[in-house]
């Protein structure tokens, strides 16, 4: 509760033009927003640009934010909409960067088998349609409940459940095929 | 693979991807704040108008100039469009009223004034957001494309020199997503759109 009150104080200070308070908000949410964008876009450069843009737009439009709502849901909605717009743009202007092919860990002692499994699930995620990938990212990276995923993606809660179920089935198939 | 196993693998992979990209978010707060500079959160329209009208604050010449310039731009666009599409001009084939074709579809005109643009396209739910180029054959800065559409609701936006332009003045509606807009047209029953 203390953390929530503190967050509201930071947001009120940000509304008064205190960019230092906004910096603290960014510090708290940058991993979550970047992870969302990276999961949606599957492209590191685009994810960096879009998450940066999301924090700019959220600040500029902060007066539209209703303090009664969860701030994270509002912020994730902005980021998700920007990702969707960027993906539409990318349809006409493909990126020169390869889709995400990051090695899972930097620890050389990490098991080769685990890295291979992560690489295969990463490839499978790259192939998964956006409409299935987005709810999976919000569920398994951002750990949002179905109702919040529904708000962020502006789709009914039942559709969220269906897409997560089907998305996992598609991932399992792609994984089995070796993506 | 078991359900839990897939869930855990997915969770671990997404987290590992972010962990391996830490350099991207290092110092992000500084970069954002530097770009924000002296900007403050934008006022709502009602707050802005109230501030503009407040007698104690005096006449805000700068803001009035912005209003005047915006009005002039819209007036220019309106005149350019009127010159382009009204009867009696040099382009008799252009009309904002949809024309029904033999197969039941309607030829819907998309118009976008973009004086210095090198390319203009329309992307939307009718072309899977793939982009249909608009043309400006006479070089007057008014770009047009006519697309056959069956009755329904269509979301779309223009791409002007690669930049998203979601607010078509001729749209029936807009979808707002915090600063980003898409336009909406209704074709056929209940409104013939453009």
Record: contact A88-B1, CB cut-off 8 A: no
- DSSP bridge pairs for B106: B100, B149
Whole-structure pTM value: 0.59
> What whole-number distance in Å separates Cα of residue A142 and Cα of residue A135?
10
- Report residue A79's pLDDT band, with 50, 70 and 90 as the boundaries: very high
List the helix and strand counts (H, then E) for chain A. Answer: 8, 0
So what's the pLDDT on residue A74? Answer: 94
A-chain residues near B30 (CB < 8 A): 23
Q: Do B159 and A176 touch (CB under 8 A)?
A: no
pLDDT band of B48, cuts 50, 70, 90: low
Please write the tens of the pLDDT for every residue from B105-139. Answer: 888 999 988 888 888 899 888 888 778 889 888 88
A78 to chain B: closest CA residue:
B178
pLDDT tens by residue, A151-176: 999 999 999 999 999 999 999 999 88
3-state secondary structure of B193: coil
Partner-chain residue, chosen from A55, A85, A136, that has the shortest CB–CB distance to B164: A85
Q: How far is CA A83 from CA A134, B111, B193, in A?
A: 10, 27, 29
Which of B44, B123, B177 lies nearest to residue A63, judging by beta carbons? Answer: B44
pLDDT band at A4 (very low <50, low <70, confident <90, very high): low
**A17 contacts in B (CB within 8 Å)?**
40-41
Question: Which of residues B85 and B136 earns the better pLDDT score?
Answer: B136
**Could you tell me how many CB contacts below 8 A there are between chain A and chain B?**
160
Give the DSSP H or E segment for B79. helix B61-85
Which among B156, B112, B158 has a CA at the least distance from the CA of B136? B112
Residue in A22, A24, A31 closest to B25 by CB: A31
For residues B40 and B104, give the distance between their C-alpha atoms in angstroms, rounded to a whole number: 52
> ipTM for the complex?
0.85
Residues of chain B in contact with residue A91, where contact means CB-CB under 8 angstroms, are 123, 129-131
pLDDT higher than threshold 80 for residue A49: yes
* pLDDT surpasses 50 at A105: no
> Average pLDDT, whole number, for chain B?
75
Instruction: Answer yes or no: are the C-beta atoms of A83 and B62 closer than 8 Å.
Output: no
B32-65 per-residue burial string, b: 16 or more CB within 10 A, e: under 16: bbeebeeebbeeeeeeeeeeeeeeeeeeeeeeee
């Amino acid at each position: 509760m203390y953390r929530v009150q503190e967050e509201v104080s930071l947001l009120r200070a940000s509304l008064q033009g205190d960019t230092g308070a906004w910096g603290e908000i960014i510090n708290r949410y940058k991993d979550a927003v970047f992870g969302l964008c990276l999961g949606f876009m599957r492209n590191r450069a685009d994810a960096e640009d879009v998450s940066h843009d999301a924090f700019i737009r959220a600040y500029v439009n902060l007066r539209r934010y209703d303090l009664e709502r969860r701030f994270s849901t509002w912020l994730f909605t902005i980021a998700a909409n920007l990702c969707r717009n960027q993906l539409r743009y990318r349809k006409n202007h493909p990126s020169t960067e390869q889709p995400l092919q990051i090695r899972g860990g930097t620890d050389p002692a990490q098991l080769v088998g685990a890295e291979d499994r992560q690489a295969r699930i990463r490839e499978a995620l790259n192939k998964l349609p956006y409409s299935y990938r987005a709810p999976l990212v919000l569920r398994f990276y951002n750990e949002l409940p179905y109702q919040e995923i529904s708000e962020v993606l502006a789709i009914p809660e039942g559709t969220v459940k269906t897409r997560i179920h089907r998305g996992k089935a598609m991932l399992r198939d792609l994984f089995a095929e070796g993506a | 693979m078991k359900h839990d196993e897939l869930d855990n693998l997915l969770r671990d992979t997404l987290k590992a991807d972010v962990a391996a990209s830490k350099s991207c978010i290092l110092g992000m707060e500084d970069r954002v704040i530097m770009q924000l500079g002296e900007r403050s959160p934008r006022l709502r329209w009602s707050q802005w108008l109230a501030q503009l009208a407040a007698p104690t604050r005096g006449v805000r010449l700068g803001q009035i100039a912005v209003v005047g310039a915006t009005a002039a731009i819209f007036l220019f666009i309106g005149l350019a469009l009127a010159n382009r599409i009204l009867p009696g001009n040099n382009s008799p084939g252009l009309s904002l009223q949809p024309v029904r074709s033999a197969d039941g579809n309607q030829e819907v005109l998309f118009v976008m004034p973009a004086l210095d643009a090198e390319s203009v396209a329309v992307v939307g739910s009718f072309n899977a957001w793939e982009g249909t180029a608009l043309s400006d054959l006479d070089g007057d800065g008014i770009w047009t494309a006519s697309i056959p559409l069956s009755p329904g609701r269509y979301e779309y936006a223009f791409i002007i020199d690669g930049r998203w332009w979601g607010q078509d003045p001729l749209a029936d509606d807009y979808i707002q997503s915090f600063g980003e807009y898409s336009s909406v047209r209704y074709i056929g029953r209940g409104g013939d759109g453009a």
